[in-house]
Every structure is written in structure tokens, then in C-alpha cells.
Amino acid sequence: MPGSAIFGRGHLALHGLVLLIVVVAEAIGIIRIPIGIAAIILLPMLYAFAMGIALNPNITRATGRVLTPTVQKFAGGMITIAITPFVAKFGTTVGPQIDAIIAAGPALLLQELGNLGTIVLAFPIAVYVLRMGRETVGAVYSIDREPNLALVAEKYGLDSPEGAGIMGVYATGTLIGTFVFAIIPVLVHATGVFDIRALAMSCGVGSGSMLAACTGGLVTAEPENKDLILGLAGASNVLTYATGLYVGLFIALPLTQWLFRKARPDLY
């Protein structure tokens, strides 16, 4: 491909750097830190992300010579490409579990509404504890990943208070989401209250890296149910692509806005 920039020096250096990070991360392997009856499970993808941040030119000036803003933008595009084989692998875990998935079908469909749990938990904290303004509406109505961001951008604009709310949570979530999803599900699992199928299918609620971290933790905690966990999580993730936008557009966003008008009429 003559004239194409994708084989430039910086781009190749990027792939080389990623390869190096990946080898180091996988060589360290999974680490379990026992805390009481539960354990915090650290996955290679977490070290890879942390090393990526440590070598990010905005943190370490030295890498800025090769990782120019153009190369960084390209790296952003590479996330989507690199996650695609992972998505394919996840799909192949769904097919063999099709009977278990059909059996859990009603739960799988209804748990999509569980995404509204963000409003139940985060709305009161934002409004009554932290006394936040209209940023609340953008911030708490969903898990704030790309499709949700697009919806707020279209309805309020990203320069509105609602837009600032979702952008803040989006950027923060990008930084800490993988860590949160590696840790929380394993701790919830350790309570022993919930069905492993429920814990697994709820892994599909967020981004691809959240899905990976969540299932990685659960599989490490319960290796004998690996196939079931992956199959249900994969099916739920596919379902979220289909329903997520509509739940946000027709239920979650109007509901959050209505709640906010009731709670803080002075701000409208």
C-alpha cells in the first residue's frame, strides 16, 4: 500500500512496544491476592493496561519521540481491531453452550433492564450526597461507554452540563473500568449469595475490556464452570449491542431526566 501511513516508523514502533508489553504481562501471569474468604485477582490485561499508561507519552516524555499524536490516534483505532479476534473467540464459546443459554433465556433478557441499577445507586449519591448539578443526568443514566456517549452528544451536545457529566465518567471509566470489573464481580461471587450464571451474564453490560476483566476474574475463581461463564457472558454482550441503545433512549435517559427535575427543580 504505497503512500499509506500505517507502516510508518512510529506505527511499527507502536506494534513492537505492544508486543513487548504483552510478553511481559503474560509472563507475569495471573496473581491472586487472598483477602479473607475472597481474593483479588490480577490479570495480565491489567498489567498491560498499566504498562501502556506508564509508557504513554503524556506520562513518560521519552516515548513521545516515536509515539506522536498521530501514532497515538492510530493506537486508538488499533484497540477496536485488536479486540475483534477476542470478540470472535468469545462468540465461539456461546455456540456450544446454546442449550444452557436458551434455558437461561428469560434471565438473560430481563437482566438487560438491570442496567437501570446505575440510576438506583448512582443517582441518589450524585444528587443528595455530592450535590451535583445537571452533570448528574449525563453521568448516571448508563454505564457511559461509547454508544451512551453518542446518545447524550446528540440530545444535549457534549458542551452542555449533561455532556460534561458523561465525558467525565467516560474518561474516568476508561482509566479505571477494567480494574473495577476485575475486582467487583469476584468479590460479589465470594459472598456466595448469587447464582454463577447471574454473575456471568452480567459481565456483558459494558465495554469489551470490562467483559474480559469480569469473565477473567470469575473463571479464575470458578474454573470448573469456565465454559458456562464464557457462554453466558458472551450471549449477554451480544444482546447488549442490540438492546443497549434502546433502553438508554426510551427508558434510562428520560427516566433520569424526570427524576432530576423532581429532585432539583431549581436547576431547570
- Which of positions 35-54 make contact with another protein (CB under 8 A)? 43-46, 48-54
Query: Which residue, 20 or 35, is less far from another protein as judged by CB?
Result: 20
The residue assigned the cell 513492537 is 16
Of these, 31, 38, 40, 198, which contacts another protein (CB under 8 A)?
Answer: 198
What is the Cα–Cα distance from 162 to 268, expressed in whole angstroms?
12
Q: By CB under 8 A, is residue 91 in contact with another protein?
A: yes
Shortest reach from residue 261's CB to another protein, in Å: 19
Shortest reach from residue 128's CB to another protein, in Å: 12
Grid cell digits, residue 239: 444482546
Of these, 39, 42, 94, 221, which contacts another protein (CB under 8 A)?
Answer: 94
Shortest reach from residue 17's CB to another protein, in Å: 7
Of these, 139, 218, 221, 228, which contacts another protein (CB under 8 A)?
Answer: 139
Q: By CB under 8 A, is residue 84 in contact with another protein?
A: yes
Of these, 42, 221, 230, 259, which contacts another protein (CB under 8 A)?
Answer: 230
What residues numbered 156-185 form the site for another protein, per CB under 8 A?
A: 158-159, 164-165, 167-178, 180-181, 184-185
Q: By CB under 8 A, is residue 146 in contact with another protein?
A: yes
Q: By CB under 8 A, is residue 118 in contact with another protein?
A: yes
Shortest reach from residue 163's CB to another protein, in Å: 8
Of these, 68, 102, 117, 254, which contacts another protein (CB under 8 A)?
Answer: 117
| Binding track, positions 246-265, relative to another protein; x by CB under 8 A | --------------------
DSSP string, the chain: -TT-GGGSHHHHHHHHHHHHHHHHHHHH--EEEEETTEEEEE-HHHHHHHHHHHHSTTT-GGGGGTS-HHHHHHHHHHHHHHHHHHHHHHHHHHGGGHHHHHHTHHHHHHGGGGGGHHHHHHHHIIIIIS---THHHHHHSS---HHHHHHHHHHT-TTSHHHHHHHHHHHHHHHHHHHHHHHHHHHHHHT--S-HHHHHHGGGGS-HHHHHHHHHHHHHH-GGGHHHHHHHHHHHHHHHHHHHHHIIIIIIHHHHHHHHHHH-GGG-
Query: Which residue, 185 or 268, is less far from another protein as judged by CB?
Result: 185
